[in-house]
Chains A and B, each alone.
Chain A
């Protein structure tokens, strides 16, 4: 009798789980369609009006897309490093090849749309390949472009090797990939530091801030993906214990890396506040300027304090997933907080008034087109991840059948 009612309850659970899984999928599809539709409008604006539909100009040449680009590569690097290290070191919840593949796909799905955005940001999109054919490695852009692409090749090979039963090369290549994925987020910070003539960017702490934020964002994104995966598995009644252990580890790493980032950021800003110099104009803009709320509300409150509270105080996996989304939003705001204040401070007094033009101002306001392309970036990332998962599933079945 008990067995019968338990079986009945299991069937009902499974049915309601199937329904919630289907509901979740529908929601994700609607979200993707909305993002893609918005992105296509942005793409149309970009190709119809060129850079004139954007908010950046000659005195503030880099805007939202550069921040999104650095966010994409940060997630890519962070996700890969934990997926690879977890697999190599055999951390609980990371030791399966399926977990490794998820991390690799997430990493690629974050980096490819970042490349798309940086391509759209170029004044001469037709000359993109020059970065590879005529590169000069005195430039961080060229160095980073080569590094990201080398990483993508390594990641692709690792993904393919993961379908083999035994491979001598898988873990050594994962070590190389992990090395690169630690290197390029920190080099993203050096990208700004290397612009030696901007006081605000001229701090070695930036590379550490970019690295810690990459680790937090990468671990957080992996946590989000695995939360969604676990809830899908749970809804179908599949065991999800190993994955759950992985989620707990990722939660710990995310919180630790976020706290390290905040400590670095405090160190960076407090120096500028206590020793006023040229860079304090940028700091002033950050904390009291037109976009003060981006720093205080979006980055610190919504992007750091709320996620910390959710990670530490809640036991719900959905809350942790939400915390990861907020964390990423916060880090985009943090990147804007590095990018924009560094550029809005001119060094030649009166230059803005000397020759008046909308593109010759020390101000930056992201435009609708820039936000829409941001939506496209997310949609493309989701699509790459989905395709990667489907390909993985197909190849995994194929390799199992062969075995």
Chain B
């Protein structure tokens, strides 16, 4: 006869069970609430972030100067303030965009982006039928949302919004879970799968002196990227390989008084960039004067990239 071990739980066991479950719930609740409560910024703020830049110092200001020169001056002015007092924004006039993709290519070259990684694609949409046809181009950088859905989903605090409004990624922390890619409704984040443009390009090529390519990969692909003002070498599966990557408004350029690459390469003067905390800035002027829209407003992400339509 098999011995059964049926015995009801006694009072002490009940109390212990309740205590364990209660303690578990309490620890979980405290952990979540603690991390949900906004803490101090993890980036430097204050006087240490002020940049006294000499860009355009010797060029006299005049009222009808080119928009790029004006934005450059405004950039220098913004950088002279502590980081928490500036708030970057972008305005894109899609009436002026001609779909030349210069911004896309400029960005790829500036940030040494590998295949499958793109920060600023330009979409093309056709409306109507011939002959009543209209084509619209829509450059799509990171929106640097004020309520970024990509930030809270990161399990390791590898992405956050800086005091100056730029949403950044710490390539040294990112574990490559790709949660942020799914959370971003704009598709602004892409994963670096460790590919190279010239991979396999020399396959079948003659060996020796006639060889067109020097080695299996072209040397230009080994150039480090200067994102976040660091030297990122992808060789040997080093970061940012395996990481999520995205537009950072060319933070490394801003630090030295240069406008983002997509702004400077825009031949139609369709992309504007500046400090939304500066009431005299061109971006504030454009955003208040024209009919501006943001993408996918219904998600409540508060994008900081505005489109003049």
Whether B13 and A51, one on each chain, are in contact in the complex, defined by CB atoms closer than 8 angstroms, is no
Within 8 A of A (CB), among B155-208: 155-157, 173-179, 181-187, 189-195
Say if the beta carbon of B296 comes within 8 Å of chain A: yes
- Asked if residues A58 and B16 are in contact (CB atoms below 8 Å), the reply is no
A141 partner residues in chain B, CB cutoff 8 A = 153, 155, 177, 179
Pairwise interchain contact A353-B123, C-beta atoms closer than 8 A:
yes
Stretch of A73-81, A105-113, A131-139, A316-324 that contacts chain B: A131-139
Q: Are A58 and B177 in contact (CB under 8 A)?
A: no
A348-B140, A354-B124 are contacts. A138–B152 as well, Cβ < 8 Å? yes
- Report Cα–Cα, A127/B186, bound state, in Å: 27
Which residues of chain B are within 8 angstroms of A194 by Cβ–Cβ distance?
Answer: 153
Considering only residues 347-393 of chain A, those with a C-beta below 8 Å from chain B are 347-351, 353-355, 357-360
Q: Which residue of A lies closest to B23 (CB)?
A: A176
Tell me how many residues of B have a C-beta within 8 Å of chain A: 72
CB atoms of A180 and B24 under 8 A apart: yes
Q: Do B125 and A350 have beta carbons less than 8 Å apart?
A: yes
Q: Cβ of B9 < 8 Å from any Cβ of A? A: yes
Give residues of chain B (28-52) contacting chain A, Cβ–Cβ below 8 Å: 28, 31-32, 34-36
The interface stretch among B113-121, B218-226, B255-263, B267-275 is B113-121
Complexed CA–CA distance, A128 and B138 (Å): 38
The reply to whether the CB of A163 lies closer than 8 angstroms to some CB of chain B is no
Closest residue of chain A to B21 (Cβ to Cβ) is: A179
Q: Does A348 contact B24, Cβ atoms closer than 8 Å?
A: no
Q: Flag the segment in A5-13, A21-29, A167-175, A327-335 that touches B.
A: A167-175
With a cutoff of 8 Å between Cβ atoms, the chain A residues found around residue B16 in the complex are 168-169, 172
Q: Assess A50 versus B193: contact at CB under 8 Å? Given A135-B155, A139-B179, A347-B186.
A: yes
Given A137-B34, A171-B17, A358-B116 in contact, is the A197-B9 Cβ separation under 8 Å? no
Is B4 interfacial (CB-CB < 8 Å)?
yes
User: Chain B residues near A175 (CB, 8 Å)?
Assistant: 17, 20-21
Q: Would you call A399 an interface residue if the criterion is a C-beta within 8 Å of the partner chain's C-beta atoms?
A: no
Distance between Cα atoms of A136 and B193 in the complex (Å): 25
Distance in Å from the Cβ of A46 to the closest Cβ of chain B?
13
Interface residues of chain A: helix, strand, loop or mixed (majority): loop
**Is B59 interfacial (CB-CB < 8 Å)?**
no
Residues of chain A contacted by B295 (CB below 8 angstroms): 348
B243 in contact (CB, < 8 A)? yes
Query: Does residue B134 face the partner (Cβ distance < 8 Å to A)?
Result: no
CA A136 – CA B177 in complex, angstroms? 14
From A50, A96, A124, B174 is in contact (CB under 8 Å) with A124
Q: How far is the CA of A357 from the CA of B195 in the complex (A)?
A: 11
List the count of A-B residue pairs having beta carbons below 8 Å apart. 209
The answer to whether A179 and B185 touch across the interface, beta carbons within 8 angstroms, is: no
On whether the beta carbons of A123 and B13 are closer than 8 Å, the reply is: no
B230 CB–A CB distance under 8 Å? no
When A138-B35, A172-B16, A195-B183 are in contact, do A350 and B173 touch as well, CB less than 8 Å? no
Residue of chain A at shortest CB distance from B172: A127
Which residues of A have CB within 8 Å of B35? 136-138
Residue in chain A with minimal CB distance to B24: A176
A127 touching B175 in the complex, CB below 8 Å, given contacts A136-B157, A355-B104: yes
Bound form: Cα–Cα A128–B156 in Å: 10
A239 at the interface (CB under 8 A from B): yes
Tell me which of A142-150, A216-224, A259-267 binds B.
Answer: A142-150
Q: Does B12 contact A (CB under 8 A)?
A: yes
Q: Would you call B149 an interface residue if the criterion is a C-beta within 8 Å of the partner chain's C-beta atoms?
A: yes
| Contact status A134-B156, CB under 8 Å | yes
Compute how far the CA of A346 lies from the CA of B186 in the bound complex, rounded to whole angstroms.
8
Hey, which chain B residues are within 8 Å of A248, CB to CB?
none
B5 at the interface (CB under 8 A from A): yes
* B284 CB–A CB distance under 8 Å: no
Q: Is B7 an interface residue (CB 8 A)?
A: yes
Residues of the A chain whose Cβ atoms lie less than 8 Å from the Cβ of B189: 58
Chain A positions within 8 Å of B241 at CB level: 123
| A90 is an interface residue with CB less than 8 A from chain B | yes
CB pair B13–A168 under 8 Å, yes or no, is yes
Q: Could you say which residues of chain A place their CB within 8 Å of the CB of B117?
A: 58
Whether A136 contacts B154 by the Cβ 8 Å rule is yes
Cα of A392 to Cα of B13 in the assembled complex, Å: 25
Does A88 touch B at the CB level, under 8 Å?
Answer: yes
A128: which B residues are within 8 A, CB to CB? 175
User: Which residues 52-73 in A have Cβ within 8 Å of B in the complex?
Assistant: 52, 57-59, 61-62
Indicate if the CB atoms of B185 and A197 lie closer than 8 Å: yes
CB < 8 Å neighbour of A348 from B5, B123, B175:
B123
Cβ contacts under 8 Å, A140 to chain B: 153
Contacts of B176 in A (CB 8 A): 122-124, 127
- Which single residue of chain A is at the shortest CB-CB distance from B36? A138
Query: Within 8 Å CB of A138, what residues of B?
Result: 32, 35-36, 152-153
Q: B207 to nearest A CB, angstroms?
A: 24
How far apart are B246's CB and chain A's nearest CB, in angstroms? 10
Contacts of A179 in B (CB 8 A): 21, 24
From A145, A150, A360, give the contact of B24 (CB < 8 A).
Answer: A150
Check B122 for interface membership: any CB of A closer than 8 A.
yes
On whether A62 and B187 interact (CB within 8 A), knowing A139-B155, A350-B123, the answer reads no
Residues of A within 8 A of B (CB): 50-52, 57-59, 61-62, 88, 90, 95-97, 121-124, 127-128, 130-131, 134-143, 145-147, 150, 168-169, 171-173, 175-176, 179-180, 194-198, 239, 242, 343, 346-351, 353-355, 357-360
Given known contacts A172-B20, A354-B118, what 8 new A-B pairs fall within 8 Å (CB)? A51-B193, A52-B194, A58-B117, A123-B175, A123-B178, A130-B156, A136-B155, A175-B21
The chain B residues found within 8 Å of chain A, CB to CB, are: 2, 4-9, 12-14, 16-17, 19-21, 24, 28, 31-32, 34-36, 104, 115-118, 121-125, 138, 140, 149, 152-157, 173-179, 181-187, 189-195, 237, 239, 241-244, 295-296, 299, 301
**19 cross-chain CB contacts under 8 A:** A50-B193, A57-B193, A58-B181, A61-B181, A61-B191, A95-B6, A123-B177, A124-B239, A130-B173, A139-B153, A150-B24, A195-B179, A197-B149, A197-B296, A197-B301, A348-B296, A350-B124, A357-B115, A358-B116
Q: Which 6 A-B pairs have the closest CB atoms?
A: A123-B176, A123-B242, A90-B6, A350-B123, A354-B121, A172-B16
